[in-house]
Amino acid sequence: MYKPKGKPLKDLPKGLLPREKLEKLGAESLTEEELWAIILGSGTKGFSVIDIGTKLASIGFENLAKLPLEELSKIPGVGRVKALTVKAVTELCKRNKNGENQKITHPIQVVRLVSPLLKGKKEKLFVLTLSAGQRLLGLDLVAVGSLNTVYAPPREVLQPVISKGGYMFILVHNHPDGEAKPSEEDITFTKRIEEGANLLGLELLDHIIIADGGYFSFKENRML
């Protein structure tokens, strides 16, 4: 595919201007190079913004996301300032992809986040780590059980919360048999985890059970 080289964006034929293309045809019509050109805004000495966009697109988004800032700044035409922009964009996309930095304020958010991960006929236990402002810092699978039970020692449940620097967390597990109602074992387990968390200055915000028929929230039912 032929690409314009070495010309400032303003000197390109009008039909090739990425901003005009975006406005008339929508973002879906733009190539990855053109998207980068819009994000970066301008070129640098010896490199048009299209040149830089082409280089970034050739490296690939996932590879760019893994590069440290110093390596990004060494890409021809990028430099320190544009490297900061690239780093910010890749981090924002990574957080959005993982659901990170999302503020968790209602059990239904948790249900929507975790439900796609609950395929199969075994109970699974997840931990959602949250900041003091209830921003999602991470989602970890800590145990896989049988059809009707799942268990993990408190240290394994709390480890991802501690390692991610969390302040509070939410337990989530599923009932493959279809009834979103806590068993006596679920209640005992929840109390044990809550006690362990309190000793470490952490807060168990909720324990949510997901089943085909809906969900059960310990918090909503005043059991936490």
The answer to whether residue 73 is domain-embedded is yes
Q: Do 71 and 113 share a structural domain?
A: no
Residue 103 scores a pLDDT above 80: yes
Q: Do 131 and 209 share a structural domain?
A: yes
**For 152-180, how does the pLDDT look when each residue is reduced to its tens digit (9 = 90+)?**
999 999 999 999 999 999 999 999 987 89
Q: Do 209 and 135 share a structural domain?
A: yes
d(CA 126, CA 105): 18
CATH number at residue 44: 1.10.150
- Residues 150 and 123 sit within 8 Å (Cβ to Cβ): yes
Q: Do 179 and 90 share a structural domain?
A: no
The answer to whether residue 4 is domain-embedded is no
The answer to whether residue 70 is domain-embedded is yes
Q: Do 140 and 38 share a structural domain?
A: no
Domain interval for residue 25: 9-97
Q: Do 87 and 169 share a structural domain?
A: no
Residue 11 scores a pLDDT above 70: no
Of the residues 97, 125, 157, which one is the last residue of a structural domain? 97
Of the residues 53, 71, 97, which one is the last residue of a structural domain? 97
Residue 121 scores a pLDDT above 70: yes
Q: Do 212 and 113 share a structural domain?
A: yes
- Residues 218 and 208 sit within 8 Å (Cβ to Cβ): yes
**What's the angle, vertex CA 221, arms to CA 185 and CA 198, rounded to 5?**
65
Q: How confident is the model at residue 215 (pLDDT cuts 50, 70, 90)?
A: very high
**Size (the chain), residues:** 224
Residue 7 scores a pLDDT above 70: no
**Span 134-153, average pLDDT:** 88
Number of domains in the chain: 2
Q: Do 92 and 130 share a structural domain?
A: no
Evaluate if pTM is beyond 0.85. no
- Residues 128 and 99 sit within 8 Å (Cβ to Cβ): no
Distance of CA 118 to the CA centre of its chain: 18
The answer to whether residue 183 is domain-embedded is yes
Look at residue 45 in the predicted model and tell me its pLDDT.
87
- Residues 75 and 59 sit within 8 Å (Cβ to Cβ): yes
d(CA 39, CA 139): 30
Work out the angle between the directed axes of helices 154-163 and 184-199 (0-180°, nearest 10).
50
Of the residues 62, 97, 132, which one is the last residue of a structural domain? 97
Q: Do 86 and 45 share a structural domain?
A: yes
Percent of the chain's residues with pLDDT above 90: 44
Name the β-bridge partners of 191: none
Q: How confident is the model at residue 66 (pLDDT cuts 50, 70, 90)?
A: confident
The answer to whether residue 165 is domain-embedded is yes
Q: Do 116 and 41 share a structural domain?
A: no
Q: How confident is the model at residue 99 (pLDDT cuts 50, 70, 90)?
A: low
Residue 118 scores a pLDDT above 60: yes
Residue 14 scores a pLDDT above 60: no
Q: Do 85 and 13 share a structural domain?
A: yes
**Which of 6-20, 37-51, 85-99 is modeled with the greatest confidence?**
37-51
Q: Do 191 and 211 share a structural domain?
A: yes
Q: Collect all residues with Cβ–Cβ distance below 8 Å to 155 and sequence separation of at least 6.
A: 196
CATH number at residue 142: 3.40.140.10
